[in-house]
């Protein structure tokens, strides 16, 4: 059984996170991904750090399974190679600066006219039109502009989430749009242009928060917890660990109070009858849960919570995640190749039963340039689109 995207060629004019993560997932599904990089410099993410045996942690995460070609698409010769690649490709994914594709002579709408079966994904910060469409956009900027930082952290102390959620969310929307566009092409025979704006993605991810304020409510950030549910948070245990637990509905509240805390009086207290009421009394409830947890070791808390049907977790750091037994025992790690030898990488989160696993390789800058040039030279019609 072949991979789902066997035979699909993706050309990527990409940098940083959003587009590279999208195309890496396409490579995981079997697509051939040709990453176009600036000669001598490459993707800026190559140079963020050297923690992976001299390579960047970001770049090795985002780019295994791809080919790297150093091409200056503004140059006549390299531009012709790039155009020939597009003529034979199925998908172009780009997250260059606003309007950069057009300035390079490859405006998305023009491309689908010239190559009717091509799917063009143009990722930008703010979309086309509006007062901000000219602005560069990075994850922190979009999270700030889009309100995500304001509901993270504590009142007066906004915090950026530790992972780049605007970049990752944009990557996943772009990835799913590619799959939808390829499916639609099977029916219509035509490609399309998909424009994905990071601000639009972040606004979608803020859905519950937007609904709250649009309809007259308020959201107050509560740190490691939820502004809309209580009790629900992190509580230190007797042995110096921290357990995260709580309730998401009234039934769980009764189980928490009766079966875990041994406080049936709380379950029948009318002040705490509904989640809305409990959110207003969050500090009082947190103090009760915190005091109970402080008298128990974390293993005991988790065992009792499991028995009571209360969701719970340990507050881990990244070292704990790297050694997590749930990942190790389920075979969630693999090895990918690289210029410095095999590297550990996670297996893709979503794989169909029977799909072959592609472990790929992190490419050196320009590793495949000459091979791709030769491929274009030898292609029938100088790289004309295949039927």
Which of 78, 167, 200, 286 is labelled catalytic?
A: 167
Contacts of 201 (CB under 8 A, 6+ apart): 166, 169, 170, 173
HSE of 360, CA atoms in CB hemisphere, 13 A: 31
CA distances from 367 to 6, 24, 70, 122, 364 (A): 22, 17, 8, 25, 5
- According to DSSP, the residues that pair with 226 across neighbouring strands are 229
> How far apart (Å, rounded) are the C-alpha atoms in residues 29 and 90?
14
CA distances from 167 to 111, 139, 201 (A): 25, 6, 9
- The H or E element spanning position 257 is none
Spacing of C-alpha 25 from chain mean position:
10
Would you call 306 a catalytic residue per the annotation? no
* 157-158 and 153-154 strand pairing: antiparallel
Contacts of 51 (CB under 8 A, 6+ apart): 57
Contacts 24+ apart (CB under 8 A), 50-58: 52/338, 52/340, 52/343, 53/340, 53/341, 53/343, 54/340, 55/338, 55/339, 55/340, 55/362, 58/16, 58/17
Sign of CA dihedral 182, 188, 194, 200: negative
So which residues are the catalytic ones?
A: 167
């Amino acid at each position: 059984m072949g991979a789902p995207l066997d035979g699909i060629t993706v050309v990527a004019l990409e940098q940083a996170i959003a587009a590279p993560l999208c195309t890496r997932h396409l490579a995981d599904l079997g697509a051939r991904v040709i990453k176009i990089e600036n000669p001598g410099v490459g993707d800026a993410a190559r140079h963020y750090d050297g923690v992976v045996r001299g390579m960047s942690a970001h770049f090795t995460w985002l780019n295994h399974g791809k080919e790297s070609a150093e091409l200056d698409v503004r140059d006549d010769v390299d531009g012709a190679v790039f155009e020939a690649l597009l003529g034979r490709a199925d998908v172009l994914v780009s997250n260059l600066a606003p309007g950069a594709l057009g300035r390079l002579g490859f405006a998305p709408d023009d491309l689908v006219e010239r190559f009717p079966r091509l799917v063009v994904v143009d990722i930008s910060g703010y979309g086309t039109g509006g007062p901000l469409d000219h602005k560069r956009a990075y994850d922190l900027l979009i999270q700030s502009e889009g309100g995500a930082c304001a509901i993270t952290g504590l009142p007066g102390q906004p915090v950026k989430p530790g992972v780049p959620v605007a970049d990752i969310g944009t990557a996943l929307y772009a990835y799913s749009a590619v799959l939808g566009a390829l499916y639609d092409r099977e029916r219509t025979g035509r490609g399309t242009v998909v424009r994905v704006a990071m601000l639009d993605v972040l606004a979608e991810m803020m859905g519950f928060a937007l609904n709250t304020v649009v309809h007259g409510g308020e959201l107050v950030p509560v740190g490691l917890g939820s502004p809309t549910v209580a009790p629900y948070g992190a509580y230190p245990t007797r042995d110096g660990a921290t357990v995260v637990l709580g309730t998401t509905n009234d039934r769980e509240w009764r189980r928490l109070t009766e079966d875990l805390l041994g406080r049936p009086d709380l379950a029948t207290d009318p002040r705490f009858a509904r989640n809305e009421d409990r959110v207003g009394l969050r500090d009082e409830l947190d103090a009760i849960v915190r005091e109970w947890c402080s008298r128990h070791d974390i293993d005991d808390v988790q065992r009792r919570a499991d028995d009571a049907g209360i969701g719970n977790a340990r507050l881990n750091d990244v070292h704990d995640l790297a050694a997590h037994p749930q990942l190790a025992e389920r075979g969630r790690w693999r090895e990918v190749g690289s210029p410095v030898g095999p590297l550990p990488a996670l297996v893709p989160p979503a794989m169909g039963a029977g799909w072959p696993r592609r472990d790929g390789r992190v490419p050196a800058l320009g590793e495949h340039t000459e091979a791709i040039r030769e491929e274009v030279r030898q292609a029938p019609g100088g790289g004309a689109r295949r039927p």
